[in-house]
Structure 1
Amino acid sequence: MKIKEIIVVEGRDDTTAIRRAVDADTIETNGSAVSKETLLKIKHAQEKRGVIIFTDPDYPGERIRKIVSDNVPGCKHAFIAKRDALPKNGRGIGVEHASPAVIQEALKEAHIMNETLHEEISVDDLIDAGLIGGPRAKARRERLGEMLRIGYTNGKQLHKRLKMFEITQKEFAEAINMILQEETDA
């Protein structure tokens, strides 16, 4: 599978994992302190071929994603679930631990975050669905992020992420119903 866009990753091990899964070029940020030089490279890549941001499903990965997308508009975003980013030894979390199939699927599903915010799903909807505050909120947000392919977010960021990806009320309701059904079946 050949990827036209250049993939922004955190480090060398991520590049190795990406190249095991697909034929693609990468730019490594080398950590969450993304340099001006790296941002200039990413801007140039976006102008020439397009960019997919593919960072780890953790706080530093989300920080890098935000820095890059704030500085380079129009990038696509690829996400993997935390459970798919865990190493066999249980230490750390990262794209480098994902299987080639998981990486291929995430890249196939990569999409652009729309910065034109529109109100469809309210904060009250999130509270009513048990996604903010409550004993199962974090697990539900994690599962929702997987199902809607928008990545994991904390309670504060979930509302913005749903709007940025233009998740409809219908998509949201269907995902929540599935999550609640899974909980009932468990």
Structure 2
Amino acid sequence: MKIKEFIVVEGKDDTTTIKRAVDADTIETNGSAINEETIEKIKRAQETRGVIIFTDPDYPGEKIRKTIAEKVPGAKHAFLPKEVAIAKNGKGLGVEHASLEAIRNALRDAQIMSDTIKEEITQEDLMTAGLIGGAGSKERRVMLGKLLKIGYTNGKQLYKRLMMFQISRREFAEALAVVIQEEKNE
């Protein structure tokens, strides 16, 4: 699988794993303290071929993603569910620990966050759906994030991410129906 865009990752181990999964060029941030030179490199890459931000599914990874997204508009975002990014020994979490198939799937499903935000789903909808402020809401958000391919979020982030990825009311309702069905099957 050939990826046209540059893939922005955190480090060398991520690059090694990604190059085993797909044919692509990467840009490494070397941690969460992204310097201006790296930001400029990512901006140039976005102008020429586009970029996909593919960071670890943890707090530092989300911080890096947010920093880049603010400074490089129009970048695509690829997300890995936490459970597929855990090291085999259980000590570590990151892109470098994911299976090649999980990486290919995440890159195939990469999406652009929109600058023009329109509200289709309200905070009230999220509360009614049991996605914020109630028992089991975290588990529901985890499953919803996987189904919509927008990654895991806390309650506050979920609202923003649904708007940024322009998730329609229909997409939201369909994914929520699957979440509810899964809960009934447990």
Report the TM-score when normalising by structure 1: 0.98
Q: Deviations over 1:106-125 (max 9, x none)?
A: 11111111111101100001
User: What does residue 138 of structure 1 align with?
Assistant: 138
User: What does residue 75 of structure 2 align with?
Assistant: 75
User: What does residue 154 of structure 1 align with?
Assistant: 154
User: What does residue 89 of structure 1 align with?
Assistant: 89
Matching of residue 26 in structure 1 with residue 20 in structure 2? no
Aligned mates of 1:136, 1:50 — CA distance in 2: 38
Matching of residue 6 in structure 1 with residue 26 in structure 2? no
SS of aligned partner of 1:7: strand
Matching of residue 44 in structure 1 with residue 44 in structure 2? yes
SS of aligned partner of 1:5: strand
Letter paired with 2:147: M
SS of aligned partner of 2:24: coil
User: What does residue 100 of structure 1 align with?
Assistant: 100
Letter paired with 1:99: S
Please identify runs of 4+ aligned residues in structure 1 that moved more than 2 A.
none
SS of aligned partner of 1:43: helix
Q: Deviations over 1:117-172 (max 9, x none)?
A: 10110000101111111121111111111000011111111101001111111111
1:58: Cα distance to partner? 1.1
1:95: Cα distance to partner? 0.5
User: What does residue 164 of structure 1 align with?
Assistant: 164
Letter paired with 1:174: E
Letter paired with 1:115: D
Letter paired with 2:95: V
Report the TM-score when normalising by structure 2: 0.98
Aligned mates of 1:28, 1:6 — CA distance in 2: 10
Aligned mates of 2:31, 2:181 — CA distance in 1: 39
Identity of aligned residues (%): 65
Aligned mates of 2:14, 2:109 — CA distance in 1: 18
1:92: Cα distance to partner? 1.8
Q: CA RMSD in A?
A: 0.8
Q: Which 5+ residue runs of structure 2 have no aligned equivalent?
A: none
Aligned mates of 1:81, 1:63 — CA distance in 2: 16
Letter paired with 1:42: I
Matching of residue 15 in structure 1 with residue 15 in structure 2? yes
User: What does residue 53 of structure 1 align with?
Assistant: 53
Aligned mates of 2:142, 2:33 — CA distance in 1: 26
1:174: Cα distance to partner? 1.1
